[in-house]
Amino acid sequence: MTAALYCGRAMLNTIVLERGISGGELLNTEVIEDYPGFEHILGHELAVKFESHAKKFGAKFVQDTVVTLKKLPDTTFEAVTDSGNLYRAPTAIVTSGGTPIKLNVPGETEYAGKGVSYCAVCDGAFFRGHRIAVIGGGDAAVEEADFLTRYAEKVYLVHRRDELRASKILQKRLFENPKIELIWNTVVERVEADAQGLVNSLRLRNVDTHAESTLTVTGMFVFVGFRPNTGIIEGHVKHDAMGYLETDMNMETSIKGLFAAGDVRVQLTRQVTTAAGDGTTAAIAAEKYLAARRSGNLEPEIAASGGYAV
């Protein structure tokens, strides 16, 4: 939406293709307290403000799911949606984000934002003095468990195996933290909540003995993986081992004229602030790309008229 705002300000005909209500991961975040200028705002409220601001500068929003995005021989981009609509433009900005891998256990979806979280940086401060559980055994889970101890009274790291996959240096830090307790060979069977609909415990199962137990916690942070939504792009585009798109400093991918912003690309952290910054850069870079295209200074590709950004 920030990319759309800046494209609109550059007087480009801008269309945002969104599979659902605008907002992405903002809609899965109950409260945001780390976006400058908003000490406390609901995720969906911030999303509405973003969309309204972009529309003010002329961006058009269409609710349609893109199934493929490819570069045509004439160097324009074509987006095809599952409803059969087709959109073409000289440049495109991919902001399809990523999807946290879920446990798919009862209560996980129902209590998302009410004790279930996928972002320690976003939600950790809400659990000050609480007992919480982190699910996973890789670098992300171990790092976030360590991070959460600055807020929580106690952090349980629940892992389905008898050893962690995280790097040794992260493991050492974890084992030395007195506020963290590891629960090995265990999976979450169910998320339970109190009468107000807030998480109050997890039902666990030992994978070896199959014995079940109850862990009293007010929060569950899931870090079993994050999948970038890059499957829509046809053709080879450079990415890292996890599938995140590689970009240059202008947010341009290895496909000339295709830009990426936000969670979908390789970067250190995935926050609303960094996504907005990426969108700003991508939009300005896309406008310069279009200007070079119109002037015929874009080599070695064929220059073509037009000023659209998808």
The span from the CA of 85 to the CA of 293, in Å, is 26
Q: At what angle do helices 43-56 and 2-9 cross, to 10 degrees?
A: 20
The span from the CA of 115 to the CA of 112, in Å, is 6
- CB burial of residue 139 (10 Å; 0-12, 13-18, 19+): middle
Residue 130 token pair: 């609480």
The span from the CA of 108 to the CA of 26, in Å, is 17
Q: Which one of the listed residues 7, 122, 146, 278 is annotated catalytic?
A: 122
The span from the CA of 154 to the CA of 159, in Å, is 16
Q: Give the number of other Cβ atoms within 10 Å of residue 138's Cβ.
A: 16
Known catalytic residue: 7? no
Query: How far is CA 237 from its chain centroid?
Result: 19
Known catalytic residue: 248? no
Q: Are 16 and 47 in contact (CB under 8 A)?
A: no
Cα Rg for the chain, rounded, in angstroms? 22
Residue 269 token pair: 């952290």
- CB burial of residue 303 (10 Å; 0-12, 13-18, 19+): middle
Known catalytic residue: 122? yes
Q: Which one of the listed residues 7, 64, 123, 146 is annotated catalytic?
A: 123
The span from the CA of 187 to the CA of 204, in Å, is 6
Q: Which one of the listed residues 34, 64, 74, 119 is annotated catalytic?
A: 119
- CB burial of residue 267 (10 Å; 0-12, 13-18, 19+): middle
User: Which residues participate in catalysis according to the annotation?
Assistant: 119, 122-123
